[in-house]
Amino acid sequence: YDWVNYGGLTRSLYIIETAETYVNDYSIHLDRNDFKRISGWVSVNGKHSVGSKVRVSIPSLGINSIFSTDSTGRAVFSFKAKGLSLWSPESPVLYDCTVSIAGDTVSERIGFRDIRVDGDRIMLNGKPVFLRGICFHEESPFTGSRLTSEADARMLLGWCKELGCNFIRLAHYPHNEFTVRLAEEMGFMLWSEIPVYQGVNFGSKTIVGKMKDMLYEMISRDRNRCGIVAWGIANETRPGGARDRVLGEMADYARQCDPTRLITAALNNWRINSTENSAALSDKLIEKLDIIALNAYIGWYNKWPSEPGTLRWNIPYDKPVIFSEFGAEALYNQHDNPDKASSWSEEYQAKVYSDNIKMFEDIEQLSGVCPWILTDFRSPRRLLPRLQDGWNRKGLLSDKGQKKKAWYVMKDYYANKIKEEKNEYNRNIERKTP
């Protein structure tokens, strides 16, 4: 429903011939305990995998080190990196890296950064960061088809940059590799997730096995993509014994596969108390997550209990909170009273965004927002004549890339956030200056 629109081969297919002994996998990342050190491992497969000499080279950092694989074909390494510049949205530095053994060489561009949480804050390279986000699907708005080229991906990412984003949620599945790489080069932090969505049968061993396979494959493909800061393990799943247990195990498994990133899931298990004008979140899965991510369409699927901006959230966890989805549908160039929800007007959609921004101001744990969604996208079961006609109309942009009024609301909000960050930076500089 809503986004499972395509079948067949929608991406390029490669057949890879390997040497007799070859580099099978590797992880090269910033050391978790020392920002001036690079750590990682290389896995070698084949006839001479045990005792192979592995060379790791990063020429611009003067690194050219040799290590030997153990009895499992694995070499673990750690070395100082003098002059290392950390990757960030403001300075997305990538380094040419080479991993080689006799008869096989792999070349890669890798960035080095640290991402973690400290209480209710997300920390990038040891400093708090606010996620100015947007969600998007792997779909070209002009053709209503899957992205088929880097030019298509660059178009979507260019809109994200124009909006003022530093963060993208790649919904609701791992996106094309060229999208991830381009996003990293352009300085976007990314949330990549597997399609574990709503009515999943968590009691099925087959389905749970498939979930685990997808998680492993996602992490294996992109473990060296520093732009990815969070793995998403589920979206809008209903709490229950099997679900809580399985997703808790999935979170543990993700950390086992990759201890360098944050784990999250988009939750919609909250309730509004109209009498108290409050909203409460309750979900056992939160204990396993680094980031609390909320999908909340207040003003669209849920009514405001009182004046927008007065709603108080009760989130009894010392963890960062982001709103991973919010918004409303509007047909481009449809105009009407901003208080009339049934109008599907740009004015009403813009008002929903303004009202949510008012609500955000009083959430102390807020560490980011991520509207749903960048562009209108195909949705064959959204059938309201003239208004939908097989499209989900929640985009800030139309299916032809036209900007709706809500676009400008979010653009202004992010511009103000950027100003606040610069002012805080300048204040910190002044404090440190004698």
Angle at 177 between CA 296 and CA 69, to 5 degrees: 115
**pLDDT (0 to 100) of residue 430:** 64
What stretches of 49-126 adopt beta strand conformation (E)? 53-58, 63-68, 74-80, 95-101, 104-110, 115-118, 121-124
Chain position carrying tokens 């998007």? 136
**pLDDT (0 to 100) of residue 8:** 86
How crowded is residue 118: how many other Cβ atoms within 10 Å of its Cβ?
10
**pLDDT (0 to 100) of residue 203:** 95
Taking the C-alpha atoms of residue 84 and residue 34, their distance in angstroms, rounded to an integer, is 12
> What is the pTM assigned to this prediction?
0.96
DSSP H or E segment with residue 103: none
Taking the C-alpha atoms of residue 64 and residue 57, their distance in angstroms, rounded to an integer, is 4
Taking the C-alpha atoms of residue 314 and residue 363, their distance in angstroms, rounded to an integer, is 9
> Do residues 248 and 237 make contact, with C-beta atoms less than 8 angstroms apart?
no
Two tokens, residue 270: 């909250």
DSSP H or E segment with residue 220: helix 205-222
CA atoms within 13 A on the CB side of 81: 27
The DSSP output letter for 200 is -
Taking the C-alpha atoms of residue 100 and residue 56, their distance in angstroms, rounded to an integer, is 7
Of 320, 385, 401, nearest to 119 by C-alpha is: 320
Taking the C-alpha atoms of residue 145 and residue 326, their distance in angstroms, rounded to an integer, is 24
Sign of the C-alpha dihedral computed for residues 414, 420, 423 and 424 taken in this order: negative
DSSP state letters, 135-194: EE-SEETTTTEE--SHHHHHHHHHHHHHHT-SEEEE-SSPPPHHHHHHHHHHT-EEEEE-
Taking the C-alpha atoms of residue 229 and residue 263, their distance in angstroms, rounded to an integer, is 9
Taking the C-alpha atoms of residue 249 and residue 263, their distance in angstroms, rounded to an integer, is 12
Taking the C-alpha atoms of residue 150 and residue 147, their distance in angstroms, rounded to an integer, is 8
Bridge-partner residues for 189, per DSSP? 167
Spell out the per-residue pLDDT of the chain, length 434, in tens: 677 778 888 888 999 999 999 999 999 999 999 999 999 999 999 999 999 999 999 999 999 999 999 999 999 999 999 999 999 999 999 999 999 999 999 999 999 999 999 999 999 999 999 999 999 999 988 887 888 899 999 999 999 999 999 999 999 999 999 999 999 999 999 999 999 998 899 999 999 999 999 999 999 999 999 999 999 999 999 999 999 999 999 999 999 999 999 999 999 999 999 999 999 998 999 999 999 999 999 999 999 999 888 999 999 999 999 999 999 999 999 999 999 989 999 999 999 999 999 999 999 999 999 999 999 999 988 999 999 999 999 999 999 999 999 999 999 999 999 999 888 777 766 666 66
> Do residues 35 and 126 make contact, with C-beta atoms less than 8 angstroms apart?
yes
**pLDDT (0 to 100) of residue 426:** 72
